[in-house]
Amino acid sequence: MRLGAAIGKMRGGGYKATPQRMAVLRALVEEQHQSLEEIRARCPEVGLVTVYRTLDLLGSLGIVRRLDLGDGARYELAENHHHHMICESCGDISEFEECPLDPERLPSGRADFEVRAHSLEVYGRCGACR
């Protein structure tokens, strides 16, 4: 279970698994790519500042990723492979699983850069908008 792993990472780092943090985590599990206000709407009992701080903490633990694809900041559960399809017409963000990357052609050995994760954003028009 996703939440269990997150609790483990928090405890391991000397952080408490408070009700507020759990509430924010649950909100993140419910849906990807939410804005701060959308997350907040899912846990109105948590103070604004605490939501900011929790997102920061989860970010530093590698649990959450902040992204900005044009319209303000959004948050999502982090994945090492992350592939987005973004409709430039309606703004819809969706994810797809199959990784279109050829590992051979990544800058692994080439430049001396150690690859840990990647995020691909494909821009275009979704079916509905065509």
In this chain, which of 20, 29, 33, 42 binds DNA, going by CB under 7 A? 20
Q: Amino acid identity, residue 5? A: A
- Residue 66 and residue 57 in contact, taking contact as beta carbons nearer than 8 Å: no
Q: For Mn ion, which residue has the nearest CB?
A: 76
- Residue 122 and residue 85 in contact, taking contact as beta carbons nearer than 8 Å: yes
d(CA 63, CA 60): 8
- Give the one entry of DNA, Mn ion, a second copy, none that residue 70 binds, where binding means its C-beta sits below a cut-off of 5 to 8 angstroms depending on kind: a second copy
In this chain, which of 44, 49, 105, 109 binds a second copy, going by CB under 8 A? 105
Residue 76 binds Mn ion, judged by CB under 5 A: yes
- Give the one entry of Zn ion, Mn ion, DNA, none that residue 76 binds, where binding means its C-beta sits below a cut-off of 5 to 8 angstroms depending on kind: Mn ion
In this chain, which of 2, 16, 26, 125 binds a second copy, going by CB under 8 A? 125
Task: Indicate the SS3 state at residue 45.
Answer: coil
Residues at the interface with Mn ion (CB under 5 A): 32, 76, 95
